[in-house]
Amino acid sequence: MIAVEVGIGERAYTVTVGAGARHLLPEVLPADAARVAVVTQAGIGVEVDAGVPATTYLLPEGEEAKSLATVERLCRGFAADGLARSDAVVAVGGGVVSDVGGFAAAVFHRGIRYVTVATTLLAQVDAAIGGKTGVNLPEGKNLVGAFWQPSAVLCDTDTLRTLPAREWASGRGEMAKYAFLAEHGPDDTPGAALIGLPLEEQVAACAAIKAAVVAADERESGRRAVLNYGHTLAHALEAAAFGPGGRWDLRHGEAVAIGLVFAAQLARRLGRIDDERVAWHRTVVASFDLPAELPAGASAAELVAFMARDKKARHDLTFVLDGPRGVEAVHGIEPAAVVATLASMGCAP
């Protein structure tokens, strides 16, 4: 097992990575928890033994689960089951489950503890770590939520064996992001080394990068925004897909991969990086066998409208972009530059 510490003072916790990590659940639960609510999805098929009485709550499949209505159903169930403030929620699944289960834990009794058993690559390298919980609105992804740190995160690599190929792609998109956060140029070794590590070490390395960023900026007031590299366009693509008239099927990591290439091309247009660096973005994305092109039928006007609602924005267009100082948030991007970059990638007006 590999242990990664998330050092945020009294809210510090450990991310444990390795085969069979889920069996450590009784050891990492709060000692005074007399019962737990297990939040999961029917398709996950991973059983856990908390060592105390447990009630299981099944979420709908997919992004549709990330709604305020779902959170209300969970909280009413917790209340009916007599879940006390000293008890805990156990979120078993991927990013959707940790987002929704964690948010329900954050608001029930004004906050009860929770543990995440991450069963997908996306959750293990990113979504389950850092305490960002939330749900979607029709106007955009993750617009309602809370920062609520888990008591522990268990990343059981055994659960990855049965992941469908598209779910692997979803996690690899976040891995590609971390390759850029680990280095500042195509000739530096850390980012390239991440690509070639064994899986368990890749997961732990990504967790360690995120843990360091979260420890420095828990509530995304500054540095933590870099964790959204590639995500501004990715979230817009996802919002367009699950909103009315959605026209394409993209997993989160696939959308992030496209967002990384877009961010590189936007940074090049703004003079922040050169053509070689843009090519390196494409190389990294390709090394994880991910798409780099916008889906057919994407509209620049629609995507820019979604991007303007991004949670990093300050009544402007904000992007995390590569540059001379590495990856950082850049505010006040002119819409014309964004539209021109989208057009260069084949996007319709």
What are residue 347's phi and psi, to 5 degrees? -80, 140
Q: Please confirm, yes or no, whether 132 is among the known catalytic residues.
A: yes
Catalytic residue among 10, 110, 315, 325: 110
Active site residue 281: no
Q: Are strands 152-156 and 13-18 parallel, antiparallel or unpaired?
A: parallel
SS3 316: coil
Told to judge if 142 belongs to the known catalytic residues of this protein, a careful annotator would answer: no
Q: Letter for the amino acid at 23?
A: H
Helix (H, G, I), strand (E, B) or coil at 151: coil
Q: 113, 141, 224, 311: which one is catalytic?
A: 224
Choosing from 113, 252, 268, 272, the catalytic residue is 252
Active-site choice (177, 235, 311, 312): 235
Residue pair 211/4 in contact (Cβ under 8 Å)? The answer is: yes
Query: Per the residue annotation, which of 136, 218, 228, 281 is the catalytic one?
Result: 228
User: Is residue 210 among the annotated active site residues?
Assistant: yes
Check 66, 210, 251, 281 and give the catalytic one: 210
**How far is the C-alpha of 166 from the C-alpha of 150, rounded, in Å?**
27
Distance CA 204, CA 14 (A): 11
Q: Which of 183, 220, 254, 302 is catalytic?
A: 220
Contact by Cβ (8 Å): 116, 149: no
Closest by CA to 235, choosing from 211, 262, 212, 217, is: 262
Name the burial class of residue 114, with classes exposed (0-12), middle (13-18) and buried (19+) by CB atoms within 10 angstroms of its CB.
buried
73 labelled catalytic: no
Active site residue 174: yes
Per annotation, catalytic residue among 66, 132, 141, 177: 132
Catalytic choice (63, 174, 183, 302): 174
From the list 113, 172, 231, 251, the catalytic residue is: 231
Question: What residue spans of 218-318 are helical by DSSP H?
Answer: 231-242, 252-269, 275-287, 300-307
Nearest to 102 by CA among 146, 59, 140: 146
- Residue bearing tokens 């293990």: 124
Gap between the Cα atoms of 28 and 139, Å rounded: 37
CB 258 within 8 A of CB 294: yes
DSSP 158: G
Active site residues: 110, 132, 174, 210, 220, 224, 228, 231, 235, 252
